Amino acid sequence: MRPVLTAFATSPDRGRGLARDFRVRWALEEIGQPYEVRLLTFAELKQPAHRTLNPFGQIPTWQDGRCALFESGAIVLHIAERHPGLMPDDKVGRARTMAWMFAAVDTVEPPIWEWDLARMVEGGKPWHAERLPMLEHRIHTRLAELAAWLDQRDWLESEFSAGDLMMVAVLRRLHASGLLDEHPSVAAFIARGEARPAFCRAFAAQKAVFDGKAANDDERAAT
């Protein structure tokens, strides 16, 4: 059985690869694992059938015949642990890769997510004008810290790993924000991730959904 990933039938990101199924697509392309994609409407996400896969009624979910999973980070970790290409072989290297994966979703993503949410839905609140610069400051702090780490490095550790994949996926949300302008080494890190052939294949696959060129249960034969 090919693994089955769920994604938005109509993603609000308009094909920019910002919804969280993208990180899983990218991981699958990195390791060359063929997969299928089940596209769901917002209404379908909240149906009991989907909630058995994800109690929170969200994408992405994953089924591979042996296990069903939710949470994009857990799915990428599951993939990385079972296939060569996204995890070093040694124990310390694996632990450090996981540390970077957690850093991406637990240390770097929260201020970015809060800032984007503030812009999208809190614009009318009386405290909005004060909150936005505060959130931007928090993002700048994280970006400066990442820039310091990335100094003289192409990737977070010696080789590209699932840690880089998750970090780049999180940071891409800042495209067009202007916030990356002050952190050119972080922008260059994102660009290195986006230049990977596997990234380009994953990006094209999700874009095809937005452009109406990919059917439901699309069989994505990773190359």
Q: Which residues bind ligand GTB (CB under 6 A)?
A: 12-13, 18-20, 42, 45, 57-60, 71-73
Q: Give whole-number Cα distances, 5 to 18, 26, 216, in Å.
A: 16, 12, 11
CB 213 to ligand GTB: min, Å: 19
Alpha-carbon distance of 125 to 131, in angstroms, equals 10
The rounded distance, in Å, linking the Cα atoms of 119 and 132 is 8
Least Å distance, CB 194 to ligand GTB, is 16
What is the C-alpha separation between 116 and 100, in angstroms, rounded? 22
Contacts of 49 (CB under 8 A, 6+ apart): none
2/175 with CB nearer ligand GTB:
175
- Measured from the CB atom, the residue of 73 and 193 that comes closer to ligand GTB is 73
Q: Of 83 and 175, which has the nearer Cβ to ligand GTB? A: 175
In the block, tokens 């995890």 appear at: 87
CA gap 2, 14 in Å, rounded: 26
| Cα 132 from Cα 115, distance rounded (Å) | 7
CB 106 to ligand GTB: min, Å? 10
Q: For the CB of residue 45, give the shortest distance to ligand GTB in the complex, in Å.
A: 5
Rounded least distance, CB 54 to ligand GTB, Å = 8
Question: Which phi-psi region, left, alpha or beta, contains residue 177 (left: φ > 0; alpha: ψ -120 to 50)?
Answer: alpha
138, 146 in Cβ contact below 8 A?
A: no
CB of 116 to ligand GTB, least distance (A): 7
Burial class (CB in 10 A: 0-12, 13-18, 19+), 22: buried
Q: Which is nearer to ligand GTB, 70 or 150 (CB)?
A: 70
Token pair of 218 as six digits: 């699309």
Please identify, using beta-carbon distances, which residue of 10 and 158 lies nearer to ligand GTB. Answer: 10
* Closer to ligand GTB by Cβ: residue 156 or 169: 169
* Identity of residue 51: R
Cβ-proximal residue to ligand GTB, closest one: 58
